[in-house]
Amino acid sequence: MNIDVIILVDDNPITLFYNRDVVEDFYPEASIVSYENSAEFLKDFLGGKFEKYKNILLLLDINMPEYDGYEVLSELEDECEYLENLTVLMITSSNLKVDKEKATRFVNVKAYIEKPLTISKLEKTLK
């Protein structure tokens, strides 16, 4: 899968650091942007900060303050004008069937990956 930019959204700075390291190893050529705040991510994304990219990979945590991952996806589906450029991987510690089912309701969600993120999980999902 060809990726121009990877966006990591997770409220835990340690998880962001770890996920960034995994993603850099998997996609060394891609630009990587991290957000600890889902509202800040939404503001930037809906404001057009990433619309120049044709292949955007979003690794999105589900359980976050302000906007959880599902609320983020709902906002993107309602408001984003360049949604066709986006592929979403839900990255979460939840293994509940209801969470997995809910994630699949969103068009851009390609996979639901339980933490910790690993290169083998990315390979399985994206190759």
What's the whole-model pTM score? 0.95
Residue-wise pLDDT tens digits, 88-117:
999 988 777 888 888 888 999 999 999 999
Domain that residue 16 falls in: 5-126
Confidence (pLDDT) at 48: 95
Measuring CA to CA, which residue among 25, 83, 28, 93 is closest to residue 58?
83
Q: Which CATH number do you get for residue 118?
A: 3.40.50.2300
Q: Distance between CA atoms of 110 and 43, rounded to whole angstroms?
A: 23
Measuring CA to CA, which residue among 12, 6, 28 is closest to residue 92?
12
Name the DSSP letter for residue 104.
Answer: T
The tokens describing 49, both together, are: 């900060």
Confidence of residue 27 (pLDDT cuts 50, 70, 90): very high
Beta-bridged to residue 58, according to DSSP, are 7, 88
Confidence (pLDDT) at 103: 86
The tokens describing 83, both together, are: 């949604």
Q: Distance between CA atoms of 65 and 79, rounded to whole angstroms?
A: 20
Q: How many domains does the chain have?
A: 1
